Protein backbone atom coordinates (compact mmCIF):
# COMPACT_ATOMS: atom_id res chain seq x y z
CA UNK A 1 0.00 0.00 0.00
CA UNK A 2 1.37 3.41 -0.95
CA UNK A 3 2.36 5.69 1.92
CA UNK A 4 1.71 9.42 2.02
CA UNK A 5 0.44 9.66 -1.56
CA UNK A 6 -1.43 12.74 -2.70
CA UNK A 7 -4.38 11.46 -4.71
CA UNK A 8 -5.24 13.46 -7.83
CA UNK A 9 -8.10 12.65 -10.15
CA UNK A 10 -8.40 13.92 -13.73
CA UNK A 11 -10.76 13.26 -16.58
CA UNK A 12 -8.79 10.22 -17.61
CA UNK A 13 -8.67 8.55 -14.16
CA UNK A 14 -6.43 8.61 -11.12
CA UNK A 15 -3.01 8.64 -12.82
CA UNK A 16 -0.72 11.39 -11.54
CA UNK A 17 1.15 13.68 -13.91
CA UNK A 18 4.17 15.82 -13.27
CA UNK A 19 7.52 17.10 -14.45
CA UNK A 20 9.91 14.60 -12.85
CA UNK A 21 9.29 11.09 -11.51
CA UNK A 22 12.01 9.53 -9.34
CA UNK A 23 12.06 5.90 -8.21
CA UNK A 24 14.63 4.30 -5.91
CA UNK A 25 15.06 1.49 -3.42
CA UNK A 26 14.72 4.07 -0.61
CA UNK A 27 13.12 7.46 -0.05
CA UNK A 28 13.98 9.33 3.14
CA UNK A 29 11.22 11.90 3.63
CA UNK A 30 12.97 13.89 6.35
CA UNK A 31 11.86 11.64 9.21
CA UNK A 32 11.61 8.04 8.01
CA UNK A 33 12.70 5.81 5.16
CA UNK A 34 10.21 4.35 2.68
CA UNK A 35 11.44 1.16 0.97
CA UNK A 36 11.04 1.18 -2.00
CA UNK A 37 9.92 4.70 -2.77
CA UNK A 38 8.84 7.05 -5.51
CA UNK A 39 8.55 10.81 -5.79
CA UNK A 40 6.69 13.01 -8.28
CA UNK A 41 7.66 16.66 -8.81
CA UNK A 42 5.49 19.25 -10.49
CA UNK A 43 5.75 23.02 -10.82
CA UNK A 44 8.64 23.41 -8.38
CA UNK A 45 6.91 21.40 -5.66
CA UNK A 46 6.54 17.80 -4.56
CA UNK A 47 3.26 16.46 -5.89
CA UNK A 48 3.29 12.99 -4.35
CA UNK A 49 5.48 10.50 -2.49
CA UNK A 50 4.91 6.86 -1.65
CA UNK A 51 6.06 3.29 -2.04
CA UNK A 52 4.70 3.21 -5.56
CA UNK A 53 3.16 5.89 -7.77
CA UNK A 54 1.00 5.39 -10.83
CA UNK A 55 2.35 8.47 -12.52
CA UNK A 56 3.60 9.93 -15.78
CA UNK A 57 6.25 12.64 -16.08
CA UNK A 58 8.32 14.42 -18.69
CA UNK A 59 11.46 12.88 -17.18
CA UNK A 60 11.76 9.67 -15.19
CA UNK A 61 14.74 8.48 -13.18
CA UNK A 62 14.83 4.82 -12.07
CA UNK A 63 17.78 4.86 -9.70
CA UNK A 64 17.67 1.37 -8.16
CA UNK A 65 20.09 0.98 -5.23
CA UNK A 66 19.96 4.61 -4.16
CA UNK A 67 18.31 6.89 -1.61
CA UNK A 68 16.21 9.91 -2.51
CA UNK A 69 16.15 12.55 0.23
CA UNK A 70 15.54 16.28 0.73
CA UNK A 71 18.28 18.65 -0.34
CA UNK A 72 20.44 19.47 2.66
CA UNK A 73 20.11 22.72 4.60
CA UNK A 74 23.48 23.89 5.94
CA UNK A 75 22.73 26.06 8.98
CA UNK A 76 26.24 27.47 9.35
CA UNK A 77 28.25 28.66 6.39
CA UNK A 78 30.13 31.75 5.28
CA UNK A 79 29.46 31.22 1.56
CA UNK A 80 26.75 31.93 -1.00
CA UNK A 81 28.34 29.81 -3.73
CA UNK A 82 25.97 27.80 -5.96
CA UNK A 83 28.71 25.17 -6.27
CA UNK A 84 27.24 23.83 -3.01
CA UNK A 85 24.28 22.57 -5.04
CA UNK A 86 26.31 19.96 -6.87
CA UNK A 87 27.43 18.62 -3.49
CA UNK A 88 23.86 18.07 -2.27
CA UNK A 89 23.23 21.32 -0.35
CA UNK A 90 20.22 23.23 -1.70
CA UNK A 91 19.92 25.82 1.12
CA UNK A 92 22.64 27.64 3.04
CA UNK A 93 22.41 30.00 6.00
CA UNK A 94 25.34 32.41 5.87
CA UNK A 95 26.23 33.43 9.44
CA UNK A 96 28.83 36.09 8.80
CA UNK A 97 28.97 38.44 5.81
CA UNK A 98 29.61 42.16 5.19
CA UNK A 99 26.67 44.50 5.68
CA UNK A 100 27.09 45.94 2.17
CA UNK A 101 26.59 42.46 0.69
CA UNK A 102 23.63 41.45 2.88
CA UNK A 103 20.68 40.34 0.74
CA UNK A 104 17.13 39.21 1.51
CA UNK A 105 16.37 35.47 1.43
CA UNK A 106 16.15 34.10 -2.09
CA UNK A 107 17.64 31.80 -4.68
CA UNK A 108 20.96 32.92 -6.08
CA UNK A 109 22.20 30.77 -8.93
CA UNK A 110 19.62 28.19 -7.86
CA UNK A 111 20.94 27.98 -4.29
CA UNK A 112 18.54 29.18 -1.59
CA UNK A 113 20.48 31.63 0.58
CA UNK A 114 19.51 32.96 4.01
CA UNK A 115 21.86 35.52 5.54
CA UNK A 116 22.65 37.01 8.92
CA UNK A 117 24.92 39.73 7.61
CA UNK A 118 27.64 40.95 9.99
CA UNK A 119 28.03 39.53 13.50
CA UNK A 120 26.83 41.86 16.26
CA UNK A 121 29.64 42.43 18.77
CA UNK A 122 31.37 45.21 20.73
CA UNK A 123 34.27 47.40 19.60
CA UNK A 124 37.43 45.26 19.43
CA UNK A 125 35.38 42.13 20.16
CA UNK A 126 35.28 38.92 18.13
CA UNK A 127 35.39 38.58 15.13
CA UNK A 128 37.33 41.83 14.70
CA UNK A 129 40.70 40.62 16.09
CA UNK A 130 40.43 37.16 14.53
CA UNK A 131 38.92 37.68 11.09
CA UNK A 132 37.96 40.55 8.83
CA UNK A 133 36.40 43.59 10.57
CA UNK A 134 33.82 43.92 7.77
CA UNK A 135 31.91 40.88 9.03
CA UNK A 136 31.43 42.57 12.43
CA UNK A 137 28.81 45.13 13.49
CA UNK A 138 30.03 46.68 16.78
CA UNK A 139 27.53 48.29 19.17
CA UNK A 140 27.79 50.41 22.28
CA UNK A 141 24.97 49.89 24.75
CA UNK A 142 21.46 48.43 24.60
CA UNK A 143 19.92 51.20 22.50
CA UNK A 144 22.65 50.88 19.89
CA UNK A 145 22.18 47.11 19.93
CA UNK A 146 18.49 47.51 19.12
CA UNK A 147 19.33 49.85 16.25
CA UNK A 148 21.78 47.31 14.88
CA UNK A 149 19.06 44.65 14.78
CA UNK A 150 16.72 47.02 12.94
CA UNK A 151 19.45 47.78 10.40
CA UNK A 152 20.06 44.08 9.79
CA UNK A 153 16.38 43.23 9.44
CA UNK A 154 15.89 46.19 7.12
CA UNK A 155 18.66 44.89 4.85
CA UNK A 156 17.10 41.42 4.69
CA UNK A 157 18.73 39.43 7.49
CA UNK A 158 16.93 36.13 8.08
CA UNK A 159 18.62 35.61 11.46
CA UNK A 160 20.70 37.72 13.86
CA UNK A 161 24.10 36.45 14.96
CA UNK A 162 26.00 37.67 18.00
CA UNK A 163 29.54 36.96 19.22
CA UNK A 164 30.21 35.77 22.77
CA UNK A 165 33.87 34.83 22.47
CA UNK A 166 36.08 35.92 25.40
CA UNK A 167 39.32 34.53 23.94
CA UNK A 168 39.63 37.42 21.47
CA UNK A 169 38.65 40.48 23.51
CA UNK A 170 35.58 42.07 25.14
CA UNK A 171 32.04 40.74 24.80
CA UNK A 172 28.50 42.06 24.71
CA UNK A 173 27.07 42.40 28.21
CA UNK A 174 23.82 40.88 29.44
CA UNK A 175 21.76 44.06 28.91
CA UNK A 176 22.99 44.39 25.31
CA UNK A 177 22.26 40.73 24.51
CA UNK A 178 18.78 40.93 26.01
CA UNK A 179 18.09 44.04 23.94
CA UNK A 180 19.22 42.22 20.79
CA UNK A 181 17.06 39.18 21.57
CA UNK A 182 14.01 41.30 22.36
CA UNK A 183 14.36 43.42 19.21
CA UNK A 184 15.02 40.40 17.02
CA UNK A 185 11.95 38.64 18.36
CA UNK A 186 9.88 41.77 17.67
CA UNK A 187 10.84 41.25 14.04
CA UNK A 188 10.30 37.46 14.12
CA UNK A 189 14.01 36.67 13.85
CA UNK A 190 15.98 34.10 15.81
CA UNK A 191 19.22 35.00 17.55
CA UNK A 192 22.14 32.61 17.17
CA UNK A 193 25.29 33.00 19.27
CA UNK A 194 28.90 32.20 18.51
CA UNK A 195 30.18 30.78 21.79
CA UNK A 196 33.15 28.73 22.87
CA UNK A 197 33.46 28.04 26.60
CA UNK A 198 31.56 28.57 29.83
CA UNK A 199 31.32 32.35 30.00
CA UNK A 200 29.74 33.02 26.64
CA UNK A 201 27.41 30.02 26.92
CA UNK A 202 26.12 31.12 30.33
CA UNK A 203 25.47 34.63 29.01
CA UNK A 204 23.61 33.22 26.02
CA UNK A 205 21.35 31.17 28.27
CA UNK A 206 20.69 34.06 30.66
CA UNK A 207 19.85 36.40 27.80
CA UNK A 208 17.45 33.99 26.10
CA UNK A 209 19.15 33.41 22.75
CA UNK A 210 17.49 30.86 20.50
CA UNK A 211 20.45 28.90 19.18
CA UNK A 212 24.17 28.30 19.57
CA UNK A 213 26.09 28.50 16.29
CA UNK A 214 28.69 25.97 17.52
CA UNK A 215 28.81 23.19 20.08
CA UNK A 216 30.34 24.79 23.21
CA UNK A 217 33.76 23.32 23.71
CA UNK A 218 36.55 23.07 26.23
CA UNK A 219 35.06 20.40 28.52
CA UNK A 220 32.03 22.56 29.11
CA UNK A 221 30.60 20.53 32.01
CA UNK A 222 27.18 19.09 32.81
CA UNK A 223 25.81 22.12 34.65
CA UNK A 224 26.22 24.43 31.67
CA UNK A 225 25.06 21.81 29.18
CA UNK A 226 21.99 21.13 31.29
CA UNK A 227 21.17 24.85 31.37
CA UNK A 228 21.27 24.95 27.56
CA UNK A 229 18.93 21.95 27.36
CA UNK A 230 16.52 23.37 29.95
CA UNK A 231 16.40 26.69 28.08
CA UNK A 232 15.37 24.85 24.89
CA UNK A 233 18.38 26.20 22.98
CA UNK A 234 19.32 24.09 19.97
CA UNK A 235 22.94 23.74 18.87
CA UNK A 236 24.33 23.78 15.34
CA UNK A 237 27.14 21.37 16.08
CA UNK A 238 29.93 22.14 13.52
CA UNK A 239 31.93 19.32 15.15
CA UNK A 240 34.15 18.80 12.12
CA UNK A 241 35.34 22.41 12.36
CA UNK A 242 35.71 22.42 16.14
CA UNK A 243 37.82 19.25 16.11
CA UNK A 244 40.31 21.19 14.01
CA UNK A 245 40.90 23.65 16.86
CA UNK A 246 42.93 21.01 18.71
CA UNK A 247 43.46 21.03 22.47
CA UNK A 248 41.79 24.42 22.92
CA UNK A 249 38.41 22.69 22.59
CA UNK A 250 39.10 19.44 24.39
CA UNK A 251 36.84 16.68 23.07
CA UNK A 252 33.82 18.35 21.39
CA UNK A 253 32.29 15.04 20.31
CA UNK A 254 32.27 13.85 23.92
CA UNK A 255 30.63 17.13 24.99
CA UNK A 256 28.08 16.80 22.17
CA UNK A 257 27.31 13.23 23.23
CA UNK A 258 26.69 14.36 26.78
CA UNK A 259 24.47 17.18 25.50
CA UNK A 260 22.40 14.62 23.58
CA UNK A 261 22.22 12.35 26.66
CA UNK A 262 20.83 15.28 28.64
CA UNK A 263 18.10 15.77 26.04
CA UNK A 264 19.71 18.42 23.84
CA UNK A 265 19.11 18.88 20.11
CA UNK A 266 21.97 18.99 17.62
CA UNK A 267 21.50 20.42 14.13
CA UNK A 268 23.66 20.20 11.02
CA UNK A 269 26.06 22.95 10.01
CA UNK A 270 29.46 22.72 8.35
CA UNK A 271 31.02 26.18 8.91
CA UNK A 272 32.25 26.18 5.29
CA UNK A 273 34.85 27.39 4.31
CA UNK A 274 36.46 26.59 7.69
CA UNK A 275 36.08 22.99 6.58
CA UNK A 276 37.11 22.36 2.99
CA UNK A 277 33.97 20.90 1.50
CA UNK A 278 31.76 22.13 -1.34
CA UNK A 279 28.58 20.36 -0.39
CA UNK A 280 27.43 17.99 2.33
CA UNK A 281 30.10 17.44 5.00
CA UNK A 282 29.85 13.67 5.42
CA UNK A 283 32.42 13.73 8.22
CA UNK A 284 30.19 16.13 10.18
CA UNK A 285 27.32 13.67 9.77
CA UNK A 286 29.46 10.81 11.06
CA UNK A 287 30.47 12.90 14.07
CA UNK A 288 26.80 13.58 14.82
CA UNK A 289 26.26 9.81 14.70
CA UNK A 290 29.22 9.37 17.08
CA UNK A 291 27.58 11.91 19.40
CA UNK A 292 24.59 9.61 19.78
CA UNK A 293 22.11 10.48 17.04
CA UNK A 294 20.56 7.62 15.11
CA UNK A 295 21.33 7.56 11.37
CA UNK A 296 17.87 8.88 10.50
CA UNK A 297 18.14 11.57 13.19
CA UNK A 298 21.46 12.62 11.64
CA UNK A 299 19.79 13.02 8.25
CA UNK A 300 16.88 14.88 9.86
CA UNK A 301 19.34 17.30 11.48
CA UNK A 302 20.24 18.57 8.02
CA UNK A 303 16.81 18.31 6.43
CA UNK A 304 13.46 18.45 8.26
CA UNK A 305 14.79 19.73 11.59
CA UNK A 306 16.85 22.37 9.79
CA UNK A 307 13.80 23.46 7.80
CA UNK A 308 11.87 23.93 11.02
CA UNK A 309 14.77 25.90 12.54
CA UNK A 310 14.78 28.46 9.73
CA UNK A 311 10.98 28.72 9.85
CA UNK A 312 10.46 27.39 6.34
CA UNK A 313 8.94 23.95 6.91
CA UNK A 314 7.94 21.88 4.96
CA UNK A 315 11.30 22.77 3.41
CA UNK A 316 13.61 19.87 4.21
CA UNK A 317 10.91 17.25 3.77
CA UNK A 318 9.62 15.11 0.93
CA UNK A 319 5.93 15.70 1.47
CA UNK A 320 3.20 16.93 -0.85
CA UNK A 321 3.46 20.70 -1.23
CA UNK A 322 7.10 20.96 -0.07
CA UNK A 323 9.62 22.74 -2.31
CA UNK A 324 11.14 20.43 -4.91
CA UNK A 325 14.64 20.53 -3.38
CA UNK A 326 15.66 16.90 -3.80
CA UNK A 327 18.84 14.87 -4.03
CA UNK A 328 19.58 11.20 -4.63
CA UNK A 329 22.70 9.35 -3.51
CA UNK A 330 24.10 5.89 -4.13
CA UNK A 331 23.18 3.12 -1.72
CA UNK A 332 21.65 3.64 1.69
CA UNK A 333 22.08 7.25 2.89
CA UNK A 334 21.83 6.03 6.49
CA UNK A 335 25.34 4.58 6.11
CA UNK A 336 26.59 8.22 6.08
CA UNK A 337 29.27 7.49 3.49
CA UNK A 338 31.17 10.07 1.45
CA UNK A 339 28.73 9.34 -1.40
CA UNK A 340 26.39 11.81 0.28
CA UNK A 341 28.62 14.60 -1.02
CA UNK A 342 28.58 13.13 -4.55
CA UNK A 343 24.87 12.90 -5.36
CA UNK A 344 23.57 11.19 -8.48
CA UNK A 345 20.75 13.68 -8.82
CA UNK A 346 20.19 17.23 -7.58
CA UNK A 347 16.95 19.15 -8.07
CA UNK A 348 16.61 22.72 -6.74
CA UNK A 349 13.22 24.38 -6.90
CA UNK A 350 12.14 21.84 -9.48
CA UNK A 351 15.15 22.56 -11.74
CA UNK A 352 17.50 19.66 -12.45
CA UNK A 353 21.00 20.76 -11.46
CA UNK A 354 22.68 17.37 -11.72
CA UNK A 355 21.42 14.19 -13.35
CA UNK A 356 22.78 10.63 -13.64
CA UNK A 357 24.86 9.94 -16.69
CA UNK A 358 23.42 7.78 -19.40
Q: Given 293, 309, 325, which residue is the final one in a domain? A: 309
> Can you give the pLDDT at residue 7?
35
> Can you give the pLDDT at residue 131?
82
Please check whether residues 29 and 60 belong to one and the same domain.
yes
Q: Phi then psi for 255, rounded to 5 degrees?
A: -65, -40
Please check whether residues 267 and 168 belong to one and the same domain.
yes
Looking at mean pLDDT, say which of 1-10, 72-81, 215-224 comes out highest.
72-81
How many residues comprise the chain? 358
Alpha helix stretches (DSSP H) within 293-355:
295-301, 304-309
Closest by CA to 257, choosing from 217, 314, 306, is: 217
Helices first, then strands: H and E counts in the chain: 10, 21
Please check whether residues 171 and 245 belong to one and the same domain.
yes
Integer Cα distance of 257 and 288 in angstroms? 8
Please check whether residues 194 and 53 belong to one and the same domain.
no
Considering the domain boundaries, does residue 6 fall inside one? no
Closest by CA to 49, choosing from 64, 34, 67, is: 34
Q: What is the pLDDT of residues 71-102, one digit of tens each?
A: 999 999 999 999 999 999 999 999 999 999 99
Considering the domain boundaries, does residue 5 fall inside one? no
Considering the domain boundaries, does residue 11 fall inside one? no
Considering the domain boundaries, does residue 53 fall inside one? yes
User: Count of domains in the chain?
Assistant: 2
The pTM for the full model equals 0.94
The yes-or-no verdict on residue 2 having pLDDT over 60 is: no
Please check whether residues 52 and 194 belong to one and the same domain.
no
Considering the domain boundaries, does residue 9 fall inside one? no
Please check whether residues 37 and 144 belong to one and the same domain.
no
Rg of the chain over Cα atoms, rounded to whole angstroms, equals 21
Q: Given 292, 309, 326, which residue is the final one in a domain? A: 309
Q: Phi then psi for 126, rounded to 5 degrees?
A: -60, 135
Considering the domain boundaries, does residue 10 fall inside one? no
Q: What is the pLDDT of residues 165-182, one digit of tens each?
A: 988 899 999 999 999 999
pLDDT-derived band at 198, boundaries 50, 70, 90: confident
Please check whether residues 138 and 168 belong to one and the same domain.
yes
DSSP assigned state of 154: H
Integer Cα distance of 224 and 70 in angstroms? 34
Q: Phi then psi for 30, rounded to 5 degrees?
A: 110, -20
Considering the domain boundaries, does residue 50 fall inside one? yes
Please state, in angstroms and as integers, the Cα–Cα distance from residue 223 to each residue in 89, 150, 227, following that order.
35, 34, 6
Peptide bond just before 314 cis, omega within 30 deg: yes
Query: Do 15 and 7 contact (CB within 8 A), yes or no?
Result: no
Alpha helix stretches (DSSP H) within the chain:
83-86, 142-155, 174-186, 198-207, 222-230, 239-243, 252-261, 282-290, 295-301, 304-309
Please state, in angstroms and as integers, the Cα–Cα distance from residue 225 to each residue in 21, 193, 213, following that order.
45, 15, 15
Please check whether residues 291 and 186 belong to one and the same domain.
yes
3-class DSSP assignment, residue 173 = coil
Integer Cα distance of 189 and 135 in angstroms? 19
Q: What is the pLDDT of residues 120-167, one digit of tens each?
A: 999 999 999 988 899 999 999 999 999 999 999 999 999 999 999 988
> Can you give the pLDDT at residue 12?
38
> Can you give the pLDDT at residue 246?
66
pLDDT-derived band at 5, boundaries 50, 70, 90: very low
Please check whether residues 61 and 171 belong to one and the same domain.
no
Of 284 and 218, the structure prediction assigns the larger pLDDT to 284
Query: Do 235 and 265 contact (CB within 8 A), yes or no?
Result: yes
Please state, in angstroms and as integers, the Cα–Cα distance from residue 246 to each residue in 155, 217, 240, 250, 251, following that order.
37, 11, 11, 7, 9
Residue-range definition of the domain harbouring residue 35: 16-69+316-354
The yes-or-no verdict on residue 358 having pLDDT over 70 is: no
Please check whether residues 301 and 335 belong to one and the same domain.
no
Considering the domain boundaries, does residue 7 fall inside one? no
Please check whether residues 186 and 172 belong to one and the same domain.
yes
> Can you give the pLDDT at residue 239?
96
Q: How far is CA 324 from the centre of its chain?
A: 17
The yes-or-no verdict on residue 13 having pLDDT over 70 is: no
Mean pLDDT is lowest, of 176-190, 241-255, 314-328, for 241-255
Q: Residue 110: left (phi > 0), alpha (psi -120 to 50), or beta?
A: left
| CATH number of the domain that residue 215 is part of | 3.20.20.140
Average pLDDT along the chain: 93
Please check whether residues 222 and 276 belong to one and the same domain.
yes
What are the residues facing 217 on neighbouring strands? none
Integer Cα distance of 275 and 315 in angstroms? 25
| CATH number of the domain that residue 27 is part of | 2.30.40.10
Amino acid sequence: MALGVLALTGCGGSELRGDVLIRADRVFDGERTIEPGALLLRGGEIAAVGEELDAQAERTFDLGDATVLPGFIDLHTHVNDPVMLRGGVTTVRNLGWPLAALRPPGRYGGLRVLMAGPIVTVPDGYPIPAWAPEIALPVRGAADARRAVRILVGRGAAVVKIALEPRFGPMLDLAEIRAIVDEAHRHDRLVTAHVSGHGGTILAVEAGVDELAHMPCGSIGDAVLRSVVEAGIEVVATLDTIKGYGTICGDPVRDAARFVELGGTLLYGSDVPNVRVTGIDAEELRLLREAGLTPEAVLSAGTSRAGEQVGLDPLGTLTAGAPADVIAVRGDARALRDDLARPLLVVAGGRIVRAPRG
